[in-house]
Amino acid sequence: MSKHIKHPKILAVSSGGGHWIQMLRLRPAFKECKVHYVSVNPKCAADVPEAKFHSVTDGNRDTKLSLIKMAVKILFLTFWVRPDVVISTGAAPGYFACRFAKLVGARSLFIDSVANAEEMSLSAKLSASHASKVFSQWPDVAKKFGVEWHGSVL
């Protein structure tokens, strides 16, 4: 009987700017995993040379067509990568990824941005009914919205 370690496959999905910087700060948690990163700026690939990187169209609630393009690409990536686990640091791309995770039997974790110190973001609220777990990075916000708190990226 031989023993080997299975490396979980992770789809790590975030929007750009601060969402992406927060994702980078989670990397120590991924060290035994095969990670596929997804974000909106193709140049972010340079931040994760050790992993696969895919870019999606940027968009938010004010740019509906971009949101649809983003959702289609994330749906495609979900089926193509077939992750075991989806991790998101927001916003819209993370919501779609958590929503589609179930289609391939993946568990999903949505970590709301540390920017949301008093209210959960819209994307986190929407993700609450789809993601396996939602974390807030602020204890009071976690309590108020009935999600978990385990510290922050700061």
Partner 1 sequence: MIFTTVGTQLPFHRLIDVIDIWSLEQDVRGCFAQIGNDGNPPQNMKFSNTLDPAQFANQIAKCKVVVSHAGIGTILTALQYGKPIIVMPRLARYGEHRNDHQLATVANLEGRAGIHVAHNEHDLKALLNKAHDLGTNTNVTSAAEPELIQAIDSFIGARQTGIIYA
Residues of the shown chain interacting with partner 1 in the complex, contacts defined by CB under 8 A = 1-8, 10, 16-22, 24-30, 32-33, 41, 43-44, 46-47, 84-85, 87, 107, 109, 111, 113-119, 132-133, 135, 137-138, 148, 150-154
Minimum distance of partner 1 from residue 38's CB (angstroms): 15
78 contact partners, CB below 8 Å, separation of at least 6 = 11, 86, 97, 100, 101, 103, 104, 106
Minimum distance of partner 1 from residue 54's CB (angstroms): 16
The smaller minimum CB distance to partner 1, of residues 100 and 135, is found at 135
124: cis peptide before it, omega within 30°? Answer: no
The C-alpha atoms of residue 114 and residue 85 are separated, in whole angstroms, by 22
The smaller minimum CB distance to partner 1, of residues 6 and 65, is found at 6
CB 119: neighbour CB atoms within 10 A? 14
Minimum distance of partner 1 from residue 81's CB (angstroms): 15
The smaller minimum CB distance to partner 1, of residues 84 and 93, is found at 84
Minimum distance of partner 1 from residue 103's CB (angstroms): 19
The smaller minimum CB distance to partner 1, of residues 25 and 76, is found at 25
Cβ(147)–Cβ(134) below 8 Å = yes
Taken in order 64, 118, 108, 103, the sign of the CA dihedral is: negative
The smaller minimum CB distance to partner 1, of residues 76 and 148, is found at 148
Minimum distance of partner 1 from residue 145's CB (angstroms): 14
The strand pairing partners of 85, in sequence order, are 10, 107
